[in-house]
Amino acid sequence: MKPRKLIMITLTYLSAMGMVSGCGRTQVDANQNQTITFWEPDDAGWQPLYKELVSDFEKSHPNITVKLINIPEDGYEQKLNTAFAAGLGPDVWVDYYDTEEYSKGYIQDLDSFIKQDNWNMNQYFQPITNIRTKGENGHYYALPRDVSVDTIFYNKTLFNKYHVPYPKAGWTMADFEQTAKELTHRQNKDYGMDGATGPGADWWLEGYPFVWDLGSDIISNDGWTASKFLDSPQTIQMVQVAQNMEKQGSVMPNALAQTFGSADYATFLSGHLGMTQGTLWGINQLQNTKFQWGSVPLPTPSGNTQNDSWADCVMYYMNAQSTHKAATWDFMKYMSGSSAAKVVIQSQTWIPDVKQAWIDTGLSTNSHFAASFEALNLPTKTADYERSPSWNTIVEPILSDVWNQIVTPDNDHYENVKQGLQQAAIQVQQALNREKSLQVP
Protein backbone atom coordinates (compact mmCIF):
# COMPACT_ATOMS: atom_id res chain seq x y z
CA MET A 1 0.00 0.00 0.00
CA LYS A 2 1.58 3.24 -1.21
CA PRO A 3 -1.20 5.80 -0.82
CA ARG A 4 -1.34 9.47 -1.44
CA LYS A 5 -5.09 10.00 -1.59
CA LEU A 6 -6.83 6.79 -0.61
CA ILE A 7 -10.62 6.98 -0.35
CA MET A 8 -11.21 6.27 3.30
CA ILE A 9 -13.30 3.42 4.70
CA THR A 10 -16.78 4.50 5.74
CA LEU A 11 -17.75 1.72 8.08
CA THR A 12 -20.83 2.49 10.14
CA TYR A 13 -19.91 1.08 13.48
CA LEU A 14 -22.75 -0.91 14.97
CA SER A 15 -23.95 0.79 18.10
CA ALA A 16 -22.05 -0.21 21.23
CA MET A 17 -20.84 -3.24 19.24
CA GLY A 18 -23.94 -5.00 20.51
CA MET A 19 -24.90 -6.16 17.02
CA VAL A 20 -21.47 -7.62 16.32
CA SER A 21 -21.15 -11.33 16.92
CA GLY A 22 -18.83 -12.25 19.77
CA CYS A 23 -19.54 -9.07 21.72
CA GLY A 24 -18.14 -9.24 25.24
CA ARG A 25 -15.45 -11.83 24.49
CA THR A 26 -12.58 -11.82 26.92
CA GLN A 27 -8.83 -11.75 26.42
CA VAL A 28 -7.21 -15.19 26.19
CA ASP A 29 -4.48 -15.83 28.76
CA ALA A 30 -1.19 -14.61 27.26
CA ASN A 31 0.54 -17.87 28.29
CA GLN A 32 -1.71 -20.01 26.11
CA ASN A 33 -1.00 -20.70 22.45
CA GLN A 34 -2.78 -18.10 20.38
CA THR A 35 -3.37 -17.41 16.71
CA ILE A 36 -3.86 -13.86 15.49
CA THR A 37 -4.93 -12.85 12.00
CA PHE A 38 -3.06 -10.15 10.09
CA TRP A 39 -4.45 -8.62 6.89
CA GLU A 40 -2.45 -6.58 4.39
CA PRO A 41 -3.22 -5.46 0.80
CA ASP A 42 0.22 -5.26 -0.79
CA ASP A 43 1.44 -6.78 -4.04
CA ALA A 44 3.38 -9.98 -4.59
CA GLY A 45 6.76 -8.31 -4.39
CA TRP A 46 6.09 -7.29 -0.80
CA GLN A 47 5.05 -10.72 0.46
CA PRO A 48 8.56 -12.15 1.08
CA LEU A 49 9.32 -9.35 3.55
CA TYR A 50 6.00 -9.79 5.36
CA LYS A 51 6.65 -13.53 5.62
CA GLU A 52 10.20 -12.97 6.92
CA LEU A 53 9.00 -10.56 9.59
CA VAL A 54 6.16 -12.85 10.69
CA SER A 55 8.58 -15.78 10.90
CA ASP A 56 11.05 -13.76 12.98
CA PHE A 57 8.28 -12.68 15.34
CA GLU A 58 6.99 -16.23 15.78
CA LYS A 59 10.49 -17.47 16.64
CA SER A 60 10.72 -14.96 19.47
CA HIS A 61 7.10 -15.56 20.53
CA PRO A 62 6.62 -19.35 20.29
CA ASN A 63 3.15 -19.21 21.87
CA ILE A 64 1.82 -16.88 19.13
CA THR A 65 1.02 -17.89 15.56
CA VAL A 66 0.36 -15.14 13.03
CA LYS A 67 -2.01 -16.01 10.20
CA LEU A 68 -0.85 -13.71 7.39
CA ILE A 69 -3.59 -12.98 4.87
CA ASN A 70 -2.92 -10.98 1.72
CA ILE A 71 -5.99 -9.40 0.13
CA PRO A 72 -5.71 -7.54 -3.19
CA GLU A 73 -5.86 -3.79 -2.71
CA ASP A 74 -8.84 -3.51 -5.07
CA GLY A 75 -11.74 -4.29 -2.76
CA TYR A 76 -9.61 -4.34 0.40
CA GLU A 77 -11.61 -1.59 2.10
CA GLN A 78 -14.91 -3.27 1.26
CA LYS A 79 -13.74 -6.61 2.64
CA LEU A 80 -12.56 -4.97 5.84
CA ASN A 81 -15.87 -3.19 6.14
CA THR A 82 -17.84 -6.39 5.67
CA ALA A 83 -15.63 -8.37 8.05
CA PHE A 84 -15.92 -5.87 10.89
CA ALA A 85 -19.68 -5.61 10.49
CA ALA A 86 -19.90 -9.40 10.81
CA GLY A 87 -17.57 -9.51 13.82
CA LEU A 88 -14.98 -11.37 11.75
CA GLY A 89 -12.39 -8.65 11.27
CA PRO A 90 -8.66 -9.37 11.59
CA ASP A 91 -6.87 -8.86 14.88
CA VAL A 92 -4.44 -6.47 13.19
CA TRP A 93 -4.33 -4.93 9.75
CA VAL A 94 -2.46 -2.46 7.57
CA ASP A 95 -4.28 0.60 6.26
CA TYR A 96 -4.26 4.35 5.82
CA TYR A 97 -7.08 6.29 7.43
CA ASP A 98 -8.11 9.86 7.98
CA THR A 99 -7.90 10.34 11.76
CA GLU A 100 -11.67 10.95 11.85
CA GLU A 101 -12.03 7.19 11.40
CA TYR A 102 -10.76 6.62 14.94
CA SER A 103 -13.97 7.91 16.48
CA LYS A 104 -16.08 5.11 14.94
CA GLY A 105 -15.16 2.60 17.64
CA TYR A 106 -13.86 -0.47 15.84
CA ILE A 107 -10.19 0.57 16.06
CA GLN A 108 -8.65 -0.13 19.46
CA ASP A 109 -7.41 2.80 21.57
CA LEU A 110 -3.76 1.92 22.29
CA ASP A 111 -3.05 4.29 25.17
CA SER A 112 -3.20 1.65 27.91
CA PHE A 113 -0.86 -0.66 25.98
CA ILE A 114 1.61 2.13 25.32
CA LYS A 115 1.54 3.16 28.98
CA GLN A 116 1.93 -0.33 30.44
CA ASP A 117 5.01 -1.06 28.29
CA ASN A 118 6.34 2.50 28.35
CA TRP A 119 6.42 2.26 24.55
CA ASN A 120 8.38 5.24 23.24
CA MET A 121 6.36 7.01 20.55
CA ASN A 122 9.22 9.48 20.14
CA GLN A 123 11.35 6.77 18.58
CA TYR A 124 9.42 7.60 15.40
CA PHE A 125 9.85 10.68 13.25
CA GLN A 126 7.85 13.54 14.69
CA PRO A 127 5.57 15.39 14.39
CA ILE A 128 4.13 13.29 11.56
CA THR A 129 3.66 10.14 13.69
CA ASN A 130 1.59 11.92 16.32
CA ILE A 131 -0.42 13.71 13.64
CA ARG A 132 -1.35 10.46 11.92
CA THR A 133 -1.71 8.02 14.83
CA LYS A 134 -3.68 10.19 17.26
CA GLY A 135 -7.41 10.82 17.25
CA GLU A 136 -9.07 14.14 17.96
CA ASN A 137 -9.34 13.05 21.60
CA GLY A 138 -5.55 12.87 21.83
CA HIS A 139 -5.47 9.08 22.19
CA TYR A 140 -3.26 6.82 20.07
CA TYR A 141 -4.97 4.40 17.68
CA ALA A 142 -2.12 3.08 15.52
CA LEU A 143 1.56 2.30 15.23
CA PRO A 144 3.38 3.29 12.03
CA ARG A 145 4.50 0.70 9.51
CA ASP A 146 6.49 3.15 7.43
CA VAL A 147 7.05 6.80 6.64
CA SER A 148 7.29 8.80 3.44
CA VAL A 149 8.39 12.33 2.64
CA ASP A 150 8.88 14.48 -0.46
CA THR A 151 12.25 15.33 -1.96
CA ILE A 152 13.58 15.62 -5.52
CA PHE A 153 15.30 12.57 -7.02
CA TYR A 154 17.70 13.44 -9.81
CA ASN A 155 19.52 11.44 -12.49
CA LYS A 156 23.23 12.17 -12.00
CA THR A 157 24.11 10.46 -15.27
CA LEU A 158 21.82 12.79 -17.24
CA PHE A 159 23.16 15.81 -15.36
CA ASN A 160 26.69 14.75 -16.28
CA LYS A 161 25.71 14.18 -19.91
CA TYR A 162 24.57 17.78 -20.31
CA HIS A 163 27.13 19.30 -17.91
CA VAL A 164 24.46 20.61 -15.55
CA PRO A 165 25.58 21.14 -11.91
CA TYR A 166 23.89 18.87 -9.38
CA PRO A 167 21.18 20.57 -7.31
CA LYS A 168 22.10 21.33 -3.70
CA ALA A 169 20.20 22.08 -0.51
CA GLY A 170 19.16 25.72 -0.49
CA TRP A 171 18.40 25.89 -4.20
CA THR A 172 15.54 28.14 -5.23
CA MET A 173 12.41 27.71 -7.30
CA ALA A 174 14.17 29.75 -10.01
CA ASP A 175 17.11 27.30 -9.86
CA PHE A 176 14.67 24.41 -10.19
CA GLU A 177 13.02 25.93 -13.25
CA GLN A 178 16.37 26.72 -14.91
CA THR A 179 17.80 23.26 -14.15
CA ALA A 180 14.81 21.57 -15.78
CA LYS A 181 15.31 23.75 -18.85
CA GLU A 182 19.02 22.90 -19.14
CA LEU A 183 18.34 19.18 -18.86
CA THR A 184 15.76 19.21 -21.63
CA HIS A 185 16.94 18.03 -25.05
CA ARG A 186 13.83 17.04 -26.92
CA GLN A 187 15.72 15.61 -29.87
CA ASN A 188 17.07 12.96 -27.46
CA LYS A 189 13.72 12.60 -25.67
CA ASP A 190 15.36 13.86 -22.48
CA TYR A 191 13.36 16.15 -20.19
CA GLY A 192 13.94 18.02 -16.97
CA MET A 193 10.89 17.08 -14.92
CA ASP A 194 7.62 15.18 -14.93
CA GLY A 195 6.00 16.69 -11.83
CA ALA A 196 3.77 19.22 -13.59
CA THR A 197 1.97 16.76 -15.83
CA GLY A 198 -0.05 13.59 -15.38
CA PRO A 199 0.36 11.80 -12.05
CA GLY A 200 2.54 14.58 -10.69
CA ALA A 201 -0.04 17.33 -11.14
CA ASP A 202 -1.68 16.73 -7.78
CA TRP A 203 1.72 17.02 -6.14
CA TRP A 204 1.83 20.63 -7.22
CA LEU A 205 -1.73 21.85 -7.16
CA GLU A 206 -2.87 20.17 -3.96
CA GLY A 207 -0.32 22.20 -2.13
CA TYR A 208 2.09 19.68 -0.79
CA PRO A 209 4.84 20.41 -0.49
CA PHE A 210 5.76 23.45 -2.55
CA VAL A 211 3.07 25.84 -1.38
CA TRP A 212 3.78 25.00 2.27
CA ASP A 213 7.41 25.90 1.73
CA LEU A 214 6.24 29.20 0.29
CA GLY A 215 4.44 29.85 3.57
CA SER A 216 0.88 29.29 2.41
CA ASP A 217 -1.64 26.51 1.80
CA ILE A 218 -4.40 25.37 -0.53
CA ILE A 219 -7.15 25.09 2.06
CA SER A 220 -7.66 26.04 5.70
CA ASN A 221 -6.81 23.71 8.56
CA ASP A 222 -10.46 22.82 9.11
CA GLY A 223 -10.95 22.04 5.40
CA TRP A 224 -13.79 24.51 4.82
CA THR A 225 -12.05 27.63 3.48
CA ALA A 226 -10.34 27.96 0.09
CA SER A 227 -10.52 31.73 -0.36
CA LYS A 228 -7.21 33.48 0.43
CA PHE A 229 -5.49 30.08 0.29
CA LEU A 230 -6.00 28.64 -3.18
CA ASP A 231 -5.62 32.12 -4.70
CA SER A 232 -2.87 33.36 -2.36
CA PRO A 233 0.24 35.05 -3.85
CA GLN A 234 2.28 32.01 -2.82
CA THR A 235 0.01 29.54 -4.62
CA ILE A 236 0.05 31.79 -7.69
CA GLN A 237 3.85 31.83 -7.57
CA MET A 238 4.03 28.04 -7.32
CA VAL A 239 1.64 27.40 -10.20
CA GLN A 240 3.37 30.05 -12.31
CA VAL A 241 6.57 28.01 -12.10
CA ALA A 242 4.68 24.92 -13.27
CA GLN A 243 3.18 26.85 -16.18
CA ASN A 244 6.59 28.27 -17.12
CA MET A 245 8.07 24.78 -17.24
CA GLU A 246 5.25 23.58 -19.47
CA LYS A 247 5.58 26.56 -21.79
CA GLN A 248 9.33 26.12 -22.18
CA GLY A 249 8.84 22.41 -22.90
CA SER A 250 10.99 21.11 -20.05
CA VAL A 251 8.27 18.76 -18.75
CA MET A 252 8.06 15.27 -20.23
CA PRO A 253 4.91 15.05 -22.39
CA ASN A 254 2.25 12.60 -21.30
CA ALA A 255 2.39 10.79 -24.63
CA LEU A 256 6.07 9.98 -24.10
CA ALA A 257 5.65 9.25 -20.38
CA GLN A 258 2.97 6.68 -21.12
CA THR A 259 5.33 4.68 -23.33
CA PHE A 260 7.41 3.84 -20.25
CA GLY A 261 4.50 2.21 -18.42
CA SER A 262 2.70 2.96 -15.19
CA ALA A 263 4.96 1.29 -12.61
CA ASP A 264 6.46 3.30 -9.76
CA TYR A 265 9.06 5.72 -11.11
CA ALA A 266 8.62 4.38 -14.66
CA THR A 267 9.56 7.68 -16.31
CA PHE A 268 12.56 8.16 -14.03
CA LEU A 269 13.72 4.59 -14.62
CA SER A 270 13.66 5.24 -18.37
CA GLY A 271 16.82 7.31 -17.98
CA HIS A 272 15.24 10.14 -19.98
CA LEU A 273 14.11 12.20 -16.99
CA GLY A 274 16.41 14.51 -15.08
CA MET A 275 14.30 15.05 -11.96
CA THR A 276 11.16 13.63 -10.39
CA GLN A 277 9.08 13.90 -7.27
CA GLY A 278 10.77 11.59 -4.78
CA THR A 279 8.83 9.83 -2.06
CA LEU A 280 9.81 6.77 -0.03
CA TRP A 281 6.79 4.77 -1.16
CA GLY A 282 7.93 2.55 -4.02
CA ILE A 283 11.58 3.54 -3.73
CA ASN A 284 12.65 -0.10 -3.87
CA GLN A 285 12.00 0.15 -7.61
CA LEU A 286 15.17 2.27 -7.83
CA GLN A 287 17.53 -0.26 -6.27
CA ASN A 288 18.95 -1.46 -9.59
CA THR A 289 18.89 1.55 -11.89
CA LYS A 290 21.18 1.67 -14.93
CA PHE A 291 22.25 5.19 -13.97
CA GLN A 292 23.50 7.00 -10.88
CA TRP A 293 21.00 9.06 -8.96
CA GLY A 294 20.76 11.20 -5.89
CA SER A 295 18.26 13.06 -3.74
CA VAL A 296 18.04 16.71 -2.77
CA PRO A 297 15.69 18.77 -0.59
CA LEU A 298 12.87 20.62 -2.29
CA PRO A 299 13.62 24.04 -3.76
CA THR A 300 12.34 27.02 -1.82
CA PRO A 301 11.37 30.59 -2.78
CA SER A 302 14.74 32.24 -2.20
CA GLY A 303 16.91 29.48 -0.75
CA ASN A 304 15.49 29.97 2.74
CA THR A 305 14.89 27.18 5.24
CA GLN A 306 11.75 25.21 4.45
CA ASN A 307 8.64 26.04 6.44
CA ASP A 308 7.09 22.58 6.31
CA SER A 309 7.69 19.25 4.63
CA TRP A 310 4.99 16.86 3.46
CA ALA A 311 5.22 13.48 5.22
CA ASP A 312 2.82 10.63 5.90
CA CYS A 313 2.58 7.08 7.25
CA VAL A 314 0.82 3.79 6.57
CA MET A 315 -0.16 2.17 9.86
CA TYR A 316 -0.99 -0.95 11.84
CA TYR A 317 -4.36 -1.04 13.66
CA MET A 318 -5.81 -3.35 16.32
CA ASN A 319 -9.37 -4.63 16.22
CA ALA A 320 -11.27 -3.35 19.25
CA GLN A 321 -13.07 -6.73 19.43
CA SER A 322 -9.97 -8.90 19.19
CA THR A 323 -9.85 -11.74 21.73
CA HIS A 324 -6.04 -11.70 21.59
CA LYS A 325 -5.19 -8.11 22.31
CA ALA A 326 -2.01 -8.78 24.29
CA ALA A 327 -0.64 -11.00 21.53
CA THR A 328 -1.73 -8.52 18.87
CA TRP A 329 -0.02 -5.70 20.73
CA ASP A 330 3.21 -7.73 20.93
CA PHE A 331 3.04 -8.29 17.18
CA MET A 332 2.36 -4.61 16.46
CA LYS A 333 5.30 -3.56 18.62
CA TYR A 334 7.59 -5.91 16.75
CA MET A 335 6.40 -4.90 13.28
CA SER A 336 6.68 -1.20 14.12
CA GLY A 337 9.83 -1.40 16.26
CA SER A 338 13.57 -1.13 15.78
CA SER A 339 14.35 -4.84 15.24
CA ALA A 340 11.96 -5.15 12.31
CA ALA A 341 13.03 -1.72 11.05
CA LYS A 342 16.58 -2.91 10.43
CA VAL A 343 15.30 -5.92 8.49
CA VAL A 344 13.02 -3.68 6.45
CA ILE A 345 15.83 -1.26 5.62
CA GLN A 346 17.86 -4.10 4.10
CA SER A 347 15.07 -4.85 1.62
CA GLN A 348 13.78 -1.28 1.19
CA THR A 349 10.36 -2.73 0.34
CA TRP A 350 9.08 0.10 2.50
CA ILE A 351 11.03 2.52 4.68
CA PRO A 352 10.45 2.36 8.45
CA ASP A 353 9.48 5.24 10.69
CA VAL A 354 12.10 4.44 13.37
CA LYS A 355 14.58 7.30 13.37
CA GLN A 356 17.44 5.53 15.17
CA ALA A 357 17.30 2.62 12.72
CA TRP A 358 18.10 5.06 9.91
CA ILE A 359 21.14 6.24 11.85
CA ASP A 360 22.32 2.78 12.91
CA THR A 361 22.17 1.38 9.37
CA GLY A 362 23.68 4.43 7.66
CA LEU A 363 20.47 5.25 5.82
CA SER A 364 20.50 8.77 7.24
CA THR A 365 23.75 9.59 5.39
CA ASN A 366 23.15 7.50 2.27
CA SER A 367 23.11 9.70 -0.87
CA HIS A 368 19.69 8.31 -1.82
CA PHE A 369 18.11 8.96 1.58
CA ALA A 370 19.96 11.78 3.37
CA ALA A 371 17.66 14.46 1.96
CA SER A 372 14.63 12.46 3.12
CA PHE A 373 16.12 12.13 6.61
CA GLU A 374 16.56 15.89 6.82
CA ALA A 375 13.05 16.52 5.49
CA LEU A 376 11.54 14.15 8.06
CA ASN A 377 13.01 16.30 10.81
CA LEU A 378 11.22 19.41 9.54
CA PRO A 379 7.80 20.55 10.79
CA THR A 380 4.82 19.14 8.96
CA LYS A 381 1.03 19.21 9.19
CA THR A 382 -2.03 17.31 8.09
CA ALA A 383 -2.10 17.09 4.31
CA ASP A 384 -4.74 19.15 2.52
CA TYR A 385 -6.49 16.08 1.12
CA GLU A 386 -6.99 14.72 4.66
CA ARG A 387 -8.53 17.90 6.08
CA SER A 388 -11.67 18.05 4.00
CA PRO A 389 -14.24 15.24 3.88
CA SER A 390 -15.30 16.77 0.56
CA TRP A 391 -11.86 16.76 -1.03
CA ASN A 392 -12.40 13.89 -3.46
CA THR A 393 -15.95 14.90 -4.40
CA ILE A 394 -15.69 18.70 -4.50
CA VAL A 395 -12.20 20.16 -4.26
CA GLU A 396 -10.13 17.84 -6.41
CA PRO A 397 -12.41 17.89 -9.50
CA ILE A 398 -12.32 21.71 -9.55
CA LEU A 399 -8.56 21.76 -9.03
CA SER A 400 -8.03 19.25 -11.83
CA ASP A 401 -10.15 21.34 -14.18
CA VAL A 402 -8.34 24.59 -13.42
CA TRP A 403 -4.99 22.81 -13.67
CA ASN A 404 -5.83 21.71 -17.21
CA GLN A 405 -6.78 25.27 -18.13
CA ILE A 406 -3.72 26.91 -16.59
CA VAL A 407 -0.90 24.39 -17.00
CA THR A 408 -1.86 21.64 -19.46
CA PRO A 409 -4.41 23.04 -21.94
CA ASP A 410 -5.10 20.89 -25.00
CA ASN A 411 -4.82 23.86 -27.36
CA ASP A 412 -1.72 25.46 -25.79
CA HIS A 413 -3.82 28.46 -24.78
CA TYR A 414 -2.63 28.95 -21.22
CA GLU A 415 -5.04 30.77 -18.94
CA ASN A 416 -3.62 33.52 -16.75
CA VAL A 417 -2.48 31.90 -13.50
CA LYS A 418 -3.78 34.57 -11.14
CA GLN A 419 -7.17 34.84 -12.80
CA GLY A 420 -7.56 31.07 -13.06
CA LEU A 421 -6.77 30.48 -9.40
CA GLN A 422 -9.03 33.32 -8.27
CA GLN A 423 -11.93 31.81 -10.21
CA ALA A 424 -11.13 28.34 -8.85
CA ALA A 425 -11.08 29.69 -5.28
CA ILE A 426 -14.57 31.15 -5.80
CA GLN A 427 -15.87 27.85 -7.21
CA VAL A 428 -14.36 25.73 -4.46
CA GLN A 429 -15.56 28.08 -1.72
CA GLN A 430 -19.11 28.14 -3.06
CA ALA A 431 -19.17 24.33 -3.28
CA LEU A 432 -17.75 23.96 0.23
CA ASN A 433 -20.31 26.43 1.60
CA ARG A 434 -23.14 24.41 0.06
CA GLU A 435 -21.71 21.20 1.46
CA LYS A 436 -21.25 22.68 4.92
CA SER A 437 -24.83 23.90 4.98
CA LEU A 438 -25.97 20.28 4.59
CA GLN A 439 -23.97 19.06 7.58
CA VAL A 440 -25.95 17.86 10.57
CA PRO A 441 -25.44 20.34 13.46
Containing 278, the helix (H) or strand (E) segment is: strand 273-278
Helix axes of 338-347 and 325-336: crossing angle, nearest 10 degrees: 50
Report pLDDT for 46.
95
d(CA 264, CA 280): 11
Peptide bond into 48 cis (omega under 30): no
What is the pTM (predicted TM-score) of this model?
0.88
Q: Which residues of 295-334 are buried (b: 16+ CB within 10 A; e: fewer)?
A: bbbbbbbeeeebbbbbbbbbbbbbbbbbebbbbbbbbbbb
Residues 6+ apart with CB under 8 A from 188: 272
Going 355 to 310 to 146 to 119, the CA torsion angle's sign is positive
- Give the side-chain half-sphere CA count within 13 A for 248: 19
Q: Give long-range contacts, CB 8 A cutoff, 24+ apart: 418-423.
A: 418/231, 418/236, 421/230, 421/231, 421/235, 421/236, 421/239, 422/231
* pLDDT of 15: 34
- Extents of the domains making up the chain: 33-145+313-361, 151-308+389-437
In whole angstroms, give the CA distance from residue 53 to residue 59: 10
| DSSP state for residue 60 in the 8-state scheme | H
Q: Supply the pLDDT for residue 2.
A: 62
CA 294 to chain CA centroid, nearest Å: 20
Domains 33-145+313-361 and 151-308+389-437 share a fold: yes
Span 30-78, pLDDT tens digits: 568 999 999 999 999 999 999 999 999 999 999 999 999 999 999 999 9
How far apart, in whole angstroms, are the C-alpha atoms of residue 212 and residue 218? 9
- pLDDT attached to residue 23: 33
CA 150, CA 253: separation in Å to the nearest integer? 22
- CATH superfamily, domain 33-145+313-361, is Periplasmic binding protein-like II (3.40.190.10)
At 405, which helix (H) or strand (E)?
A: helix 396-406
> What is the pLDDT at residue 19?
34
Total residues found in the chain within this entry? 441
Q: How far is CA 338 from CA 35, 36, 225, 332, in A?
A: 24, 22, 40, 12
The per-residue pLDDT for 27 is 47
Do the Cβ atoms of 131 and 382 come closer than 8 Å?
yes
Distances (CA, A) of 211 to 148, 218, 263, 357: 18, 8, 27, 31
pLDDT value of position 200: 43
Positions of the chain with pLDDT under 50: 4-28, 196-200
Architecture of domain 151-308+389-437: 3-Layer(aba) Sandwich (3.40)
Contacts of 198 (CB under 8 A, 6+ apart): 254, 257
